[in-house]
């Protein structure tokens, strides 16, 4: 069993002729060979690094067996790209783009929910199932196969912690970044529940941060007995002042329960081990 994507996923790259889209399309395909084409306006019939190009997602689906898409489109055009993928019938959309306006993402989230479309992101590094599939920008060499499911609100911390875990002999079943923007399509608590139901995942690592209440939702899932697997967590932003956005659009202490210290207390009260520094996560995993 895999989380969200698997070896049968077939990916379109929207924005494939841009610098980032072109670079990562090749990296993804070199790793797992799942990219079936790209979408860029006015490029129908052309190729880019060997990938067939289409000027619309609907045309791409007529000629490929794509079922997923990765968005590398600039923020001002990204809502149109996401909506186009949803309307064409794509069922899993990973949005690497950051800074999409909140009001646009609210509308997209509602539309995707009605059409049973899974959106990961925006502002996500995507996901990696080692040895199976790369769908995003996580460097595969920093991790290895294992039975730890890792979910994160931070891209950079994802990379650091994956590398630290590998150095101590811990690999992952799936690593996924849910994204750092205020509105994201797949929430932290949803992915933790997926890992809780995944037979290939024995332990869960959760990387949270200030802002929102997703970490508290995870604590409640544990208290209610809905997650029975051990969880190791890290919460970024212990020194962040109230009302100041720190790095991510969603990382702002705007109300009670949103600070790192409040989240840490609730997690620990629920029996979740919480590292005070990122590189302590492997140490806590050894104690499980």
Q: 3-state DSSP call for residue 120? A: strand
67/85 Cα distance (integer angstroms) = 10
Is residue 139 within 8 A of residue 156, CB to CB? The reply is no
258/138 Cα distance (integer angstroms) = 28
Number of residues in the chain:
288
Contacts of 71 (CB under 8 A, 6+ apart): 14, 15, 78, 81, 82, 85, 93, 94, 95, 96, 97, 121, 122
Q: Which residue out of 24, 103, 141, 248 is catalytically annotated?
A: 248
Is residue 56 within 8 A of residue 84, CB to CB? The reply is yes
DSSP state of 55: S
Residue that the structure tokens 């990562």 belong to: 24
Contacts of 80 (CB under 8 A, 6+ apart): none
User: In angstroms, what CA-CA distances link 261 with 10, 94, 217?
Assistant: 42, 31, 16
The torsion angle over the Cα atoms of residues 2, 215, 268 and 163, rounded to 10 degrees, is: 50
Catalytic residue at 248? yes
User: In angstroms, what CA-CA distances link 279 with 112, 120, 128, 156, 275?
Assistant: 37, 26, 21, 13, 8
**Encoded tokens for 28:** 């993804």
Active site residues: 248
């Amino acid at each position: 069993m895999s989380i969200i994507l698997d070896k049968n996923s077939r990916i379109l790259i929207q924005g494939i002729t841009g610098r980032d889209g072109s670079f990562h399309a090749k990296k993804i395909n070199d790793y797992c060979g799942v990219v079936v084409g790209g979408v860029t306006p006015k490029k129908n019939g052309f190729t880019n690094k060997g990938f067939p190009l289409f000027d619309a997602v609907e045309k791409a689906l007529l000629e490929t067996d794509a079922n997923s898409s990765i968005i590398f489109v600039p923020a001002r055009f990204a809502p149109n790209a996401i909506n186009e993928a949803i309307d064409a019938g794509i069922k899993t959309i990973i949005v690497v783009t950051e800074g999409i306006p909140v009001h646009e993402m609210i509308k997209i989230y509602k539309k995707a929910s009605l059409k049973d479309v899974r959106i990961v992101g925006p502002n996500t590094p995507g996901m990696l199932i080692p040895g199976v599939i790369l769908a995003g920008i996580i460097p595969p060499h920093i991790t290895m196969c294992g039975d730890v499911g890792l979910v994160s609100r931070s891209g950079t911390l994802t990379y650091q912690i994956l590398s630290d875990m590998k150095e101590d002999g811990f690999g992952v079943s799936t690593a996924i970044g849910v994204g750092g923007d205020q509105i994201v399509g797949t929430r932290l608590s949803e992915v933790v529940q997926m890992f809780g139901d995944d037979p290939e995942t024995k332990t869960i690592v959760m990387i949270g941060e200030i802002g929102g209440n997703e970490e508290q939702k995870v604590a409640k899932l544990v208290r209610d007995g809905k997650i029975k697997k051990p969880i190791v967590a890290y919460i970024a932003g212990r020194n962040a002042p109230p009302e100041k956005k720190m790095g991510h659009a969603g990382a702002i202490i705007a109300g009670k329960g949103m600070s790192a210290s409040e989240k840490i207390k609730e997690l620990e009260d629920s029996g979740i081990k919480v590292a005070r520094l990122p590189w302590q996560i492997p140490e806590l995993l050894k104690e499980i």
